[in-house]
Each structure stands twice: as structure tokens, then as C-alpha cells.
A and B are shown apart, each in its own frame.
Chain A
Amino acid sequence: MNTIAAMTRRIIPAVATRGRIIAMLLIGAAGIAIGVVLRRADATTTDMTEFAALFGLTIFVPLVALVISTASLGSLVEDKTLVYFWLRPLGRWQISTASLLAGLAVLLPLILVPMGILGIVTGDTDALQGILAGSLVGLVAYTSVFTMLGLFTQRALAWGLLYVLLWEGLVAGFSRSAGWLAIRTYTDGALSRVGGSAGSIVDPPQGATILIVTGAIVVTSFVVTTWRLNTMTVD
């Protein structure tokens, strides 16, 4: 679709500012550096994979997705340019789609390249595949949720951080039922299922469950984003 592509092309530069990209690349590089050091210190494959899960899937992937995706629609709301997409003879789902695509386009290389390198550093093909699978699940799920969040509040970064650190980092770690409501469960789960024994959680969800939940997160976020676009006040 011509219109979706045009909006996506417009959102990408607004989201991928130089400052954001450099900061995110630096964090990724730091993770890789630690990985290399661990490897040199003769860490086992399991240790390496656990580090990739801990640093990569619980910190790096959600953080990068948060910073980029909340800006997709959030920056349009903040600088009051949303009106130039909104007051057009388009379905609002097209704006939702464009914002999601813009986030994914920026995040795909920004997440998968550092995580891929981290996977290679582990020195294990299964681990590499598991890490990439987990990253992919995280990329899609976090991007959807945080794109939606950016439309709801100008403080999306703060709320997103709170979610990632408190809910995913703490609550979901202690309570198994809360864990079902954390994206991290599914990124870790994908790592375990694809990467075999190297995964960090004891009893990962089934592969099919991971796919269905990830799909449900994407669809729900998309529907809510479109609903919000339809009912919101535009400056």
C-alpha cells in the first residue's frame, strides 16, 4: 500500500535519531564485550547462553525496543504532527500499521545484529539459534506493546521502564502466574525451545504457546492502537 509505505518512510527518520541509535549501539557493544570476556575466561556454553538471556533478552531487547517504538507514534503526538496523518481519507489501521512497520524496520538490524554477534560469541550453533529466536519474539512483542504505549502517554519511556524492570525483572521472576503476563517468559521460552538444553528457565512454555501468545500480543496491541487513534483528541 502506497499510503502505508509513505507514512512508514516518514516515521523512520523521526524515530531513528542519531542520538538514539548511537546510545543503543553502545549498549549492545558493551554486552558483546562482556560476552567476549566471559568466553576468554572459559565460561561454559550454558553460562554463555544464560548471560545472553540475562543481558540480551531481559535488558537489551526490551530497552532498545522501548526507546525506539514509543517514539513511533509518541513523537508525532509530542510535536503535534499527527494531524497530518490523521485528517486524511485513510482508515486509522493504516497509521497503526505504518508505525509498527517503522519500529520493526529500525529495530530489526538494531536488535538482531548485536544479539547475533552475542550468539556467535557463545560458540554454539544451537545457542545462536535460540538467542536469535528469543530476540525475534521479543522484537515483535515489545515493538507492538511499546508502539501502543507511545500513543497513550507522553511518559511512555518511564512507564515502559517500570514495566520492564519491576514487572518483568522482579514480580515475574518470583511468581509463576505473573510470569505468564510477562513477555520475557516467551522470549526465554523461545530461547529454550530452539536452543535446546541451554535455556535459562526450568519449564518453558510450549513452542505453539509461544507463537500464539506472541501473535495475540501483536493483534491486541494493534487493535487497541487503532481504537485509540479513532477516539483520541488530536492537537
Chain B
Amino acid sequence: MTNVPPPPPIPSQVPPPPAPHASPTSSAYVAQPAPPAPPLPRQRADNEVLAVTNLSKWFGDVVAVSDISFGLGPGVTALLGPNGAGKSTTLRMIAGLAAPSQGTVEVFGADPRKDKDVRGRIGIVPQQESLFQEQRAIEFVALAGVLNGLMDPTGRAREVLEIVELDPADTRPISSYSKGMRQRVKVAQALIHKPELLLLDEPLTGLDPRQRLHMTQLIRSLGEAGVCVVVSSHVLDEVERLGSRVMVIAQGRLAAQGDFHEIRALMDDRPHRIRVRSSNARTLGGVLLTGSGIAGLTVVDGESLIVDTDDAATFRGTIAAVAQAADVRLLEVQPLDDDLESVFKYLVGR
């Protein structure tokens, strides 16, 4: 007997969940008030799978997750954030593996820590690599099928192993598998019971570029089929390829949310710091200051200068022409703060 009902019909457009503290200035930005807000009555969308309300988790002095609220329906959502942002902790609370320090998680309207039927509708790919080492992949995945009460666990295990491009007939133990192969075994066990909520903690790590592409397509297709998929990642490009909604999480807080383009725009809007190396930094600096869009400029030495600009795209587009007009040879244009860390820092600090 399988306890998995068919996934709900795919809505043509998933209505974004009402943001409890939406700032009037930007639809992509959710401002978090400094003191913890009392739980607000949230309007639920009909197809809401997951509702997180004022969720916090701390470990002693470390605040891992701080007052996060959101709701999700079918489709792919990416949890984007740097190392230590609180992505895994959030996913683990959603799965019920850890209890919130404060706030609530509801999956299909129930507490996943208490409701055993809800557990049967969740699939998780944990971040840790550990698996039952001496087993074969098919045995490990079939065990997941047995524990989920499937009629034909081995048959279904074969299917999902093929979906993740592993050989179901492989007789080698999992201990002999590469990181990427283990990652795919983990995904297979999470898919075996056709979960309606799929939680993937950095599922693309360890995969080679071709496998990444395949996994990305798999995740997209699951989202299109009506599964609520939450994927964590600290790589912006990965998230872009998932074509998903994005929730930016930094220092345990929900710093921004929206579709990918909104987040990308938000990140491009922030001030950029760029180092320009040229044959004559002083001359180039002088010319640049006469133009617009330069918020600050420092000449470091004869070759290097550092520019602060609010419009990085325009700057990158015109610098070559400006240098040529000034008869200065351009050696290098390098963004100094294009790393995610500074992007997140900016978003959190706003």
C-alpha cells in the first residue's frame, strides 16, 4: 500500500504567499523588525504546503535562525545564503528533525515532528554525506521504500536509481562510491515515495557539470509536476538555473525574497567597489571623476585605482571607451566585492 496521494493539480501561476512584513519600497524585500514580532494571522493560500511562522533557532549563544516567516506552495524555491547562514537549520526544522526554539512549522497543516502521516509526505536529502556504507545502493534505497510502506520497494528503487542515473544492478557497496554518486543515492531515497514536499540541502555539491545539469532539470521538472521543492544553495548561478523563487537568508534572517530577476536586480543595485588597473591611474581617475555615476574614487598607486559606483553595469560597459579616449591602456577591471558574502552583508545591513 502506498500512502502517497497524487500531487495537487499544478496551478498555472503560484500566487506568492503574503509577506507578513512587506516593505512598501520594494516587493522583493522583506524587512525584518528588530524586536521579534508577535505571530501575525497569516492568510493561507489554498495550495499552501508549508507555513513557517516567526521561526527561530538558537544553539546556546549562537542564533542560527532568527524570526523567519514564509509560506510555500508547489514549485521550486531556493534558499540562498552563505556558509553558516542557517539554511540547513531551517530545512531541518521544516522536516521536523529539530524543534524550533521559537515559532512554528506547519507542513500540510500539521506539525512534522508529531504527525507521522505528514512524515510520509516529506522527502529529504540531508547535507551530510553519511549513508549505510556496506550496503548496495539498491538495498539502501529499497529500505527507504519499505519504511515508506511501498508495495514494491525494490522495483521502485530501481526506477528512482535510474532517474538519478545510477545503475540499479551495481553490486559495489556504497562505501566505494564517489561523492557525486552518494549525493545521487541520497536523492534517490528521497524520491522513492513521491513526496509532496522535497527538501534538498545543497544537492548539487559533488556533482560534475553534466550531472549538475541533469539534477537541475530533475528538480525543475519535479517543481513543474506540482511538488513543493526547497533547495538550499550558496551559489548564485545554481539558483539562477533552477529558475526558482529565491529566499535570501543571511545571518539567520530572511534578507530578501522574490523571483530570481528581482534578487539579481537587487544585487546589481547595491554600490559596487571596483579596482581598475591601467597604465596611468591618475589620468584615468581624473577623467572618470568628470563623468557621472561615480560615488567615490581612490588612487592607490601609479597603476591602480579603486572606484565606488552605484551603477556597476554602466561602469563596466563604458570604462574601456573612457580609457581609450584618455589614451590610457586598461590592464584589468576587477570587482572587489562581487562575492556573495558582501552581497549578503549589504542585504542584511539595509
Contact = CB atoms under 8 A, between A and B. Distances in A.
A88 B131 contact: no
B130 A79 contact: yes
Nearest to B59: A233
A7 interface: yes
Interface string B95-108: 11111000000000
Nearest to B3: A89
A6 B147 contact: yes
B122 interface: yes
B148 interface: yes
B149 A89 contact: yes
Nearest to A235: B128
Interface of B: 3, 92, 95-99, 116-117, 119-120, 122, 124, 126, 128, 130-132, 134-135, 140, 143-144, 146-149, 189
Contacts of A6: 143, 146-147
Contact of A87 (B97, B131, B134, B143): B97
21 contacts: A3-B146, A80-B126, A80-B128, A81-B132, A83-B124, A83-B126, A84-B131, A84-B132, A84-B140, A86-B97, A87-B95, A87-B97, A87-B119, A88-B119, A88-B120, A89-B148, A89-B149, A90-B119, A233-B98, A233-B99, A235-B97
Contact of A90 (B99, B116, B132, B134): B116
Interface residues of A, number: 23
Given A89-B120, A233-B99, A7 B130 contact: no
B97 A233 contact: yes
Given A81-B132, A233-B97, A90 B124 contact: no
Given A87-B97, A233-B99, A10 B132 contact: yes
Given A3-B147, A81-B130, A84-B189, A91 B116 contact: yes
Nearest to B123: A87
B62 to A, nearest CB: 14
Task: Tell me which of A3, A88, A90, A231 has the highest count of chain B C-beta atoms within 10 A of its own C-beta.
Answer: A88
Contacts of A83: 97, 124, 126
Interface of A: 2-3, 6-7, 10, 13-14, 79-81, 83-91, 231, 233-235
Contacts of A7: 147
B331 to A, nearest CB: 49
Given A80-B126, A84-B132, A233-B99, 6 more contacts: A6-B147, A80-B130, A86-B97, A89-B3, A89-B119, A235-B97
A6 B116 CA distance: 18
A7 B132 CA distance: 12
A86 B92 CA distance: 12
B147 A88 contact: yes
A81 B132 CA distance: 7
Contacts of B3: 89
A131 B189 CA distance: 46
A87 B117 contact: no
The 3 closest A-B pairs by CB, nearest first: A89-B120, A88-B147, A234-B97
A88 B148 contact: yes
Contacts of A89: 3, 116-117, 119-120, 147-149
A14 B98 contact: no
Count chain B CB atoms within 10 A of each CB in A87, A90, A91 and give the residue with the most: A87
Nearest to B128: A80
B156 to A, nearest CB: 14
A171 B310 CA distance: 75
Nearest to A91: B116
A120 to B, nearest CB: 36
A112 B147 CA distance: 32
A106 B92 CA distance: 33
Contacts of B135: 10
Nearest to A233: B98
Contacts of B189: 84
B126 A2 contact: no
A87 B96 contact: yes
Given A80-B126, A80-B128, A80-B130, A234 B117 contact: no
A86 B232 CA distance: 21
